[in-house]
Structure 1
């Protein structure tokens, strides 16, 4: 990147410390609590009367669900810590390397899937949607910002952004 750098606006960076993040944080932590309550109550009771294939699938998907939610909760807590000034961005970068936000495959055609309780399947679907939102925000906040390969030193900010758009979309 040139010494003067680019004057770009990081919408994701602003979103990560905004009311939208607070809502995402609340939604994520609420889903963790709701899932724990479900798995300890209605889910436990339902798992005892499921057909064998559904019972095995339920056990596996329960582990995937809780792992997915714990990874997202870890990310949300790290982001909240940096937003509140409790951790530096470098500290968070070091810690977030331990957090996996990549997708966990869910096979809705697996034997026993349709025998799983609807509430459980709903928790899985909601966790996957939330995971996707968190992963997108993570990529936007923490992706490398070196754009020098696309922007010659003699271009101003607007021309630089137009150049990036042309590169991305192949416009002339």
Structure 2
């Protein structure tokens, strides 16, 4: 059952990962990239964009669906194409093999961001499926537990 606490925990995880990524990119990425070839440096730039895109897409989706749970948006508003999880081609691509030569900390950030993005993509599909099912069984969001 979906609860505000679930969204808050996942949002906290996303924000923590964003802060960690920002810290890495601002404090250590330049030094780590000095050891890369030109092609690896270009690949690192692309992967940096992928990292940021994954995290911002996930956060936007979580904020949208938390707004549904608190009554600020309807599920129909949340299911509008511009509010659905985006960037599937860029963000959903597993580049683990391409990252083998990258700094280990960057590889870890990329792996964690992919796992988070994949979880949110799964949730997005579940919400869409459940909300578009005919009958009462498809109501979204599900009733909240006694906790607020």
TM-score (norm 1): 0.67
1:73 aligns with 2:59: yes
User: Which residue, out of 93, 97, 100, partners 1:114?
Assistant: 100
Q: CA offset at residue 49 of structure 1?
A: 3.4
List structure 1 runs of 4+ shifted beyond 6 angstroms.
Answer: none
Aligned match of 1:34: 20
**Bigger Rg, structure 1 or 2:** 1
Aligned match of 1:59: 45
- What pairs up with 1:79-90 in 2 under 5 angstroms? 79-90=65-76
Residue 71 of structure 1 contacts residue 100 of structure 1 at CA under 8 Å; is this kept in 2?
yes
Q: Distance in 2 between matches of 1:55 and 1:21?
A: 35
- What pairs up with 1:116-135 in 2 under 5 angstroms? 116-135=102-121
Aligned match of 2:83: 96
The answer to which structure has the higher helix fraction is 2
Q: CA offset at residue 114 of structure 1?
A: 2.6
Q: Distance in 1 between matches of 2:79 and 2:36?
A: 43
1:82-106 CA-to-partner distances (Å, cap 9, x unmatched) read 1222222222222424x31635323
Q: Distance in 2 between matches of 1:83 and 1:93?
A: 13
Tell me the SS of whatever aligns to 2:32: helix
Gaps of 5+ in 1: 1-13, 148-156, 158-172
Tell me the SS of whatever aligns to 1:100: coil
> Over the residues paired in the alignment, what is the CA RMSD in angstroms?
2.1
Q: Distance in 2 between matches of 1:109 and 1:125?
A: 11
Residue 54 of structure 1 contacts residue 116 of structure 1 at CA under 8 Å; is this kept in 2?
yes
Q: How many residues are treated as equivalent by the alignment? A: 131
Residue 51 of structure 2 contacts residue 113 of structure 2 at CA under 8 Å; is this kept in 1?
yes
